[in-house]
Amino acid sequence: HLRESLNLYENGTFKTPTEFVRYWAGQRVHMPYNTIKRTLQGTRKIGCRPGPKPKLDDLEVRLLQHIDELCDVGLSPDRAYVLWLAGELARAAGKPFQNELPSRGWWRRFKTRHPEYALRATQTFERARATAEDAKAIHLFFHTYEQVLDMPDRQSPGCTYRDRPDRIFNSDESGVQEDVRHTKSF
């Protein structure tokens, strides 16, 4: 938007810089008046990032890769873990944070720089459901189930449970809570 704005100014659409800046800042691009003014004066470059330079900079890529790796294996890091890891990376690189951990401001700017990494409330995932969705556990279940179906039924000699499905019962963990607590994580 800023490049488009400067082109209109250079083409003579507006008579004075002030008229141009006020119009574009308020009406068109919703940019702060001083941002456009400093750009016209040459004290601000187009495309520069406002605010302080990130402390981790290139190490932030490693931090994001680590978060991705944890998420890929089903472990969702929370805010405290990410702050601790950022502090450790900075310390190892010789750029420690004050008080060894990033500040709230760093955390806020980190989330702004990486909106795709948002904290979300986790859903309780029951241990039984997690086990039931594991491919190895499913295979083991059906292998064991086949063996049970082929076992002889003691009450009906010469028959197996495959022949007597009325003798097979289902049970579950109703009333048993093995869930972990809800938390916010990536």
pLDDT of the residue at 84: 93
Q: Give average pLDDT by consecutive 10-residue segment, the chain, 186 residues.
A: 66 67 60 70 68 69 89 84 91 86 88 82 66 79 87 82 76 61 63
Decide: pTM greater than 0.85. no
Distance in angstroms (rounded) separating the CA atoms of residues 46 and 95 = 29
Report pLDDT digits (tens) over 140-172.
Answer: 888 998 888 888 888 878 888 888 777 777 766
**Phi, then psi, of 160 in degrees rounded to 5:** -115, 170
Report pLDDT digits (tens) over 67-88.
Answer: 888 888 878 888 999 999 999 9
H or E element, residue 34: helix 33-41
CA distances from 91 to 53, 71, 87, 96, 114 (A): 17, 24, 6, 4, 22
Distance in angstroms (rounded) separating the CA atoms of residues 70 and 85 = 12
pLDDT of the residue at 83: 93
